[in-house]
Amino acid sequence: MLEGKVALITGANRGLGKEISLALAKRGASIAIHYFKNRNLAESLKKQIGKNAEIYHADLMDEKEIFELVRRISAEMGEIDILINNFGPFIYKKWEEISFEEWDYIIRGNLNSAFICSKAVIPGMRRKKWGRIINIGYNRVEQIVAFPNITPYAIAKTGLLILTRTMAKTEAPYKITVNMVSPGLMEEGIKPEEFEIPMGRYCSFEDVIEAIIFLISDGANYITGTNIIVGGGWKI
């Protein structure tokens, strides 16, 4: 399905990023494993995937490092066909207790990093006249309501949805699709004290991955600028 495609997954060494990497590799893609702090986890993932994976370190808060990351991948593996903007720090804390440094880190990590990574890969995708960019959101990204405990995260992800739709419009003539996948309450994530999920269970990595696999498939050639909520009916 993805033979000959090069995929960059940011924050790929653990959690959802790791599982996305394994799923895309299983379908034939060559995986650029991005990590920032834990090289051991990245090396472990590379061993699981095998020869079709390489490890790359970069600070996604630094524009120069991002462009250097993409340059190295393009030189060593080929131009990037698929970008999964999975990296995104999270903090659960009352907005008035958040320091400026924490606020800035969450905004830059979730919005700025995806903006710069996308800018860095799009020229190559335009040359190929083919590309897939998937941004990771969260269940209520389209709801403009109060989020007292995840304020900067919610702001960043809603901004990312606007960026997703903007890029989808500008890149459509180049056969590049840009979409968002927004998980609900994850099995391994932070959970509020009171909740009700109509489906009766938490969102799994597999649930999210199936939506991503569909959006990067040839069957989704005409789908761009959309947000798929993988939430089991929570908070709709």
pLDDT in tens, 42-74: 999 999 999 999 999 999 999 999 999 999 999
Which residue of the set 138, 153, 202, 222 is catalytic?
A: 153
Residue 1 domain-assigned (yes or no): no
Residue 126 domain-assigned (yes or no): yes
Which of residues 200 and 5 earns the better pLDDT score?
Answer: 5
Summarize pLDDT for 119-139 with one digit per residue, the tens: 999 999 999 999 999 999 999
Number of domains in the chain: 1
Q: Write phi, then psi, for 5 (nearest 5 degrees).
A: -95, 140
* CATH number of the domain enclosing 106: 3.40.50.720
- Whether 35 sits among the annotated catalytic residues: the reply is no
pTM: 0.95
CB 86 within 8 A of CB 14: no
Summarize pLDDT for 60-117 with one digit per residue, the tens: 999 999 999 999 999 999 999 999 999 999 999 999 999 999 999 999 999 999 999 9
Encode 197-206: b = buried (16+ Cβ within 10 Å), e = exposed: eeeeebbbbe
Residue 34 domain-assigned (yes or no): yes
Residue 236 domain-assigned (yes or no): no
Residue 137 domain-assigned (yes or no): yes
Residue 225 domain-assigned (yes or no): yes
Q: Residue 234: is its pLDDT beyond 90?
A: no
Residue 235 domain-assigned (yes or no): no
The dihedral built from the CA positions of residue 130, 135, 139 and 144, taken in this order, carries a sign that is negative
Residue 110 domain-assigned (yes or no): yes
Residue 226 sits in which domain range? 6-230
β-bridge mates for residue 132, sequence order: 82, 177
